[in-house]
Amino acid sequence: MAALSATMQELQRRKAQRSTSTPCYPPDPAHRPDAILSRSLSSDWTMLTRMGSDDEQSFQTPAEKESARRMAEAMVHFREVLAQPTIDIDKLKHLSHSGVPGKIRPAIWPLLLGYWPTRYGARKETVHKKREEYRRLLAQHLKNEKDMNQEQRKLWHQVKIDVPRTTPKGFMLVFHHKRIQRALSNILYLWSILRPEIDYFQGLNDLCVPFILILLSRYVGGDIDAINVYQLDTLSNENMLAVEADTFWCMSHFLAHIQDNFVISNTGIEAMINKMEELVRIHDEPLYRHLKSVGIDFLIFAMRWVITLLVREMPIKSLIRLWDSYLCKTAQMVTLFHLCVCAAFLTTWSDRLRKFDFSEAVIFLQHLLIARANVVMAEEQIYTHLCVVCSSIIIVLMLVLVIVVFVVLLCLLALTLSARAAAAAIQRSSQEIHHIMASASLSPSSSSSSSSPLSFSSSFSPPALMSASLPFASAFPPVASPLLLPPPRMGSSLLLDDFDLELD
């Protein structure tokens, strides 16, 4: 109870601090850019380097174990690059193209995008200035909604509609949190105001998802799986604004490379989709002809792929791994690489798509990438389920063995008790037999004595009884014991007359 009370008091204190404190930059010293890189090179990362996994250190499948081994090897090279006073960005991009370890991704992505300078000495000052600049822009354009003109109010209204629709799988509660929705609304509105040459479009909110998760993960240990509502409730205002500012600048740098993707023109989306069609035609002409024969236009499904960069189609962890490679490309190469990825996913299902008509193909293409991801994950899940089944069988067998041993012990106990009971019964029967024999051996005339009845010896053993009866034996003829009589003859009955007793 004392621990619970202390925890509640701490939560109330932090809540009061957030409501009364004025946000300021830079954030906590432990979360500054230079501190993040320093921690990535400190002894705390020894275990990650030795057993290093991207996000996990417990291996469930062979594929995950192999991936963790590769990440552990890559971490050694990342440490060497990050330890330099001036980071070799080309070498960093070469390493990042094969995947970035999850715990240092919050530091690598800003470097790849050019938001963080490569020189260590200038990094802290630059980031501080950019966060202050974002703070001034926010105060300038979003100080009061009443000061907005009609066009700005329309934009703000559309942003407010799109933000609640941002529900990435596995992080729905996180993006429904009021602090994330407020930050996302500020980022989308401010970016659209500062980029009047590009009209606001649906899907811009989806492009913020990877950046928010990665930059937020630095405050929860570098693992996006650790992000939850409790972490958001306890995050300070300055750190939350740092995440918001860093997300804005990272997204701005990234969208500057691919801004033609959002313009419907001969050099924008239409041109990209035409290139994608050409790639499919060259790589898989039968599929291309079939899609055209049933009347499917690539704009039906490919436009969302191009605009959102597969954010809505892929699992978030697979998407982040793909974006590791996207951020390493130049402005021209990232677009071409993305088109190649989309064409590869499409042709993977060539055999199935060629059997569909228009409606079936359209429905299937709406869920193409999710189905592909499920098939890839199913191979690993089979191994996991097999391990679970085998473990269950072993547990059941062990339980059966325990039950059998318990039953055997019960049987042995029952047999022991039965043997003891039988021995006790035999002993009582023997005593009764001796008693009967002793009683039959006593002289009957002693009962007619007028002086006193016969007193038995305390030993009550047959020899004692026999010795006590010797003085009377001469007065009476011998009497046969009933237990020593031969069995009666057939047809006759054992009567008292058969005994030759003279009791006179």
Q: Where are the domains of the chain?
A: 71-257, 267-397
Beta bridge partners of 119: 86
Torsion sign over Cα 428, 429, 434, 439:
positive
pLDDT reading at 307 higher than 70: yes
C-alpha to C-alpha distance for 423 and 417, rounded to whole angstroms: 10
For the chain, give the mean pLDDT: 78
Q: What is the pLDDT of residue 384?
A: 58
Question: Which of 51-55, 175-179, 312-316 has the lowest average pLDDT?
Answer: 51-55
Q: What is the pLDDT of residue 476?
A: 44
Beta bridge partners of 86: 119
- CATH code of the domain made up of 71-257: 1.10.8.1310
Q: What is the pLDDT of residue 271?
A: 87
Give 494's pLDDT tier (boundaries 50, 70, 90).
Answer: very low
3-state secondary structure string, 93-125? Answer: HHHHCCCCCHHHHHHHHHHHHCCCCCEHHHHHH
The pTM of this model reads: 0.64
Q: Which of 96, 94, 114, 107 is nearest to 250 (CA)?
A: 114
Q: Is the peptide bond before 26 cis (omega within 30 degrees of 0)?
A: yes
C-alpha to C-alpha distance for 306 and 138, rounded to whole angstroms: 29
pLDDT reading at 397 higher than 90: no
Question: Which of 3-12, 220-229, 276-285, 481-490 has the lowest average pLDDT?
Answer: 481-490
Residue 126 exposed, middle or buried by CB count within 10 Å (0-12, 13-18, 19+) = middle
pLDDT tens string 325-383: 999 998 889 989 999 999 998 898 899 999 999 999 988 887 765 555 454 444 445 55
Contact 322, 344 (CB under 8 A): no
Structural domain 267-397, CATH architecture: Orthogonal Bundle (1.10)
Q: Between vectors from CA 303 to CA 298 and to CA 306, what angle results, nearest 5°?
A: 115
Give 47's pLDDT tier (boundaries 50, 70, 90).
Answer: very low
The arithmetic mean of pLDDT across residues 291-301, rounded, is 92
pLDDT reading at 96 higher than 50: yes
Give 269's pLDDT tier (boundaries 50, 70, 90).
Answer: confident
DSSP letters, 30-86, are GGSHHHHHHHHTSGGGHHHHHH--SS-SS--SHHHHHHHHHHHHHHHHHHHHHTSSB
pLDDT reading at 465 higher than 80: no
DSSP H or E stretch at residue 293: helix 285-293
Q: What is the DSSP letter of 328?
A: T
pLDDT tens string 189-202: 999 999 988 888 88
